[in-house]
């Protein structure tokens, strides 16, 4: 009879199941809304009346049998699943991410300068020759342009900025003084990689324009900044005369720092009083306003602070190096 055949078939299939998914397939096949049993129940009305009672009883028995078998097997699977979680096994270790050392240091530099009332400015890495050179008092044939072996883009007069100083120009062209900004960013030069050169590196620019700004304002700011950054209250700082076309007078800033067991002055920044021509190029009257500017290399600051011997380490992204700075 149909019911017996179905019972045998279901028993055989139940023996063969390997997963909860197999079990579910069987449930749907027999007990589902369009399942085999449903069809047999629907057939009930076609059975001769005297056999109908017996047929119905057997069908019910089959239904209860299948429901029970499926329930038991499902429980068995669930128990097995629970057993597979072994609480004595070591946990799955997920490494925590951290910022790159340069990102971390730029954040620190910004924090100190914001504390000294500098606002953060940004500028594009693709610049005009005007913003990068001309407006900064570096005319076309000036030898200073050789100092910063420039990467020219295909378009004429468009370059990868060689320093963050063009952000000075952009800011002065759009804002009226007083201005007090710092501007971190990536800069590019036509340099090959070696221990102290990289074709791409980072600088932080500073600019303060107001009335009656003095060189001692600049000195004081540089001293406070460097003592904070190098975390040394009595850090010895030296200003030596230097030359930049966009400042007059100009200075190089060096700090007394221990390197390879002996103390020496290491240069960490360039600075000076903004050249009147630069102000004029930005439509600011040098008779009324004046100011100072400074520029620092972020990699350079980091290398001095943490005794990092080679600039390439910042860009190789070797994890054993970077991890040392995951504070």
Nearest to 314 by CA among 172, 145, 195: 195
Least spacing, CB of residue 191 vs ligand DAH, in Å: 12
Contacting ligand DAH within 285-304 (CB under 6 A):
293-295
| CB closer to ligand DAH out of 10 and 187 | 187
By the rule CB under 6 A, 202 interacts with ligand DAH: no
**Residue spans of alpha helices (H) in the chain:** 2-16, 20-31, 36-43, 49-83, 101-115, 129-132, 144-147, 166-174, 215-229, 276-281, 298-306, 313-316, 319-322
CB 204 within 8 A of CB 222: no
The HSE-up count of residue 124 (CA atoms within 13 Å, CB side) is 9
| CB closer to ligand DAH out of 23 and 198 | 198
Least spacing, CB of residue 249 vs ligand DAH, in Å: 10
Phi/psi at 110 (nearest 5 deg)?
-60, -45
Least spacing, CB of residue 168 vs ligand DAH, in Å: 7
**Helix 215-229 with 101-115: angle, nearest 10 deg:** 140
Total residues binding ligand DAH (CB under 6 A): 11
| CB closer to ligand DAH out of 55 and 188 | 188
* One residue of 137, 171, 198, 247 binding ligand DAH per CB under 6 A: 247
In the 3-class helix/strand/coil scheme, how is 128-186 assigned residue by residue? Answer: EHHHHCHHHCCCCCCCHHHHCCCEECCCCCEEECCCCCHHHHHHHHHCCCCEEEEEEEE
CB 266 within 8 A of CB 252: no
| CB closer to ligand DAH out of 165 and 171 | 165
Strands 179-188 and 200-210: antiparallel
* One residue of 113, 222, 226, 271 binding ligand DAH per CB under 6 A: 271
* One residue of 131, 132, 165, 290 binding ligand DAH per CB under 6 A: 165
Question: In this chain, which residue has its C-beta nearest to ligand DAH?
Answer: 295
| CB closer to ligand DAH out of 66 and 221 | 221
| CB closer to ligand DAH out of 72 and 238 | 238
Cα first-last separation, the chain: 77
By the rule CB under 6 A, 237 interacts with ligand DAH: no
- Tell me the sheet residues that pair with 238: 254
By the rule CB under 6 A, 272 interacts with ligand DAH: yes
By the rule CB under 6 A, 163 interacts with ligand DAH: yes
By the rule CB under 6 A, 270 interacts with ligand DAH: yes
| CB closer to ligand DAH out of 169 and 271 | 271
The region that residue 260 occupies, defined by phi over 0 for left and psi between -120 and 50 for alpha, beta otherwise, is left
By the rule CB under 6 A, 184 interacts with ligand DAH: no
Least spacing, CB of residue 118 vs ligand DAH, in Å: 13
Question: What is the C-alpha to C-alpha distance for residues 317 and 315, in angstroms, rounded to an integer?
Answer: 5
Least spacing, CB of residue 163 vs ligand DAH, in Å: 3
* One residue of 205, 208, 281, 300 binding ligand DAH per CB under 6 A: 205
Q: Tell me how far CA of residue 276 lies from CA of 5, 88, 143, 182, 291, in angstroms.
A: 104, 74, 20, 20, 9
List interacting residues with ligand DAH (CB under 6 A): 163, 165, 205, 244, 247, 270-272, 293-295
């Amino acid at each position: 009879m149909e019911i017996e055949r179905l019972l045998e078939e279901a028993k055989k299939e139940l023996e063969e199941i390997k997963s909860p998914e197999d079990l579910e397939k069987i449930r749907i096949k027999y007990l589902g809304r369009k399942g085999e049993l449903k069809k047999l129940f629907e057939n009930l009305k076609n059975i001769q009346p005297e056999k109908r009672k017996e047929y119905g009883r057997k069908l019910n028995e089959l239904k209860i049998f299948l429901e029970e078998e499926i329930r038991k097997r499902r429980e068995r699977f669930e128990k097995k699943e629970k057993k597979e979680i072994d609480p004595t096994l070591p946990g799955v270790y997920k490494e925590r991410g951290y910022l790159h050392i340069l990102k971390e240091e730029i954040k620190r530099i910004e924090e100190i300068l914001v504390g000294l009332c500098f606002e953060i400015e940004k500028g594009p890495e693709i610049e005009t020759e005007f913003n990068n050179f001309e407006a900064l008092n570096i005319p076309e044939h000036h030898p200073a342009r050789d100092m910063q072996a420039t990467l020219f883009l295909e378009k004429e007069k468009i370059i990868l900025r060689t320093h963050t100083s063009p952000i000075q120009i952009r800011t002065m062209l759009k804002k009226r003084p007083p201005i007090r900004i710092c501007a971190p960013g990536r800069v590019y030069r036509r340099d090959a990689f070696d221990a102290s050169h990289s074709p791409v590196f980072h600088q932080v620019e500073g600019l303060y324009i107001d009335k009656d700004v003095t060189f001692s304002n600049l000195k004081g700011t540089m001293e406070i900044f460097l003592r904070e950054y190098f975390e040394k209250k009595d850090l010895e700082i030296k200003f030596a005369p230097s030359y930049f076309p966009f400042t007059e007078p100009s200075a190089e800033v060096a700090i007394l720092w221990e390197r390879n067991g002996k103390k020496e002055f290491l240069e960490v920044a360039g600075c000076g009083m903004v050249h009147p021509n630069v102000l004029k190029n930005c439509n600011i009257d040098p008779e009324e306003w004046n100011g100072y500017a400074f520029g620092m290399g972020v990699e350079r600051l980091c290398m001095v602070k943490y005794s990092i011997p080679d600039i390439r380490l910042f860009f190789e992204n070797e994890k054993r190096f970077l991890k040392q700075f995951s504070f």
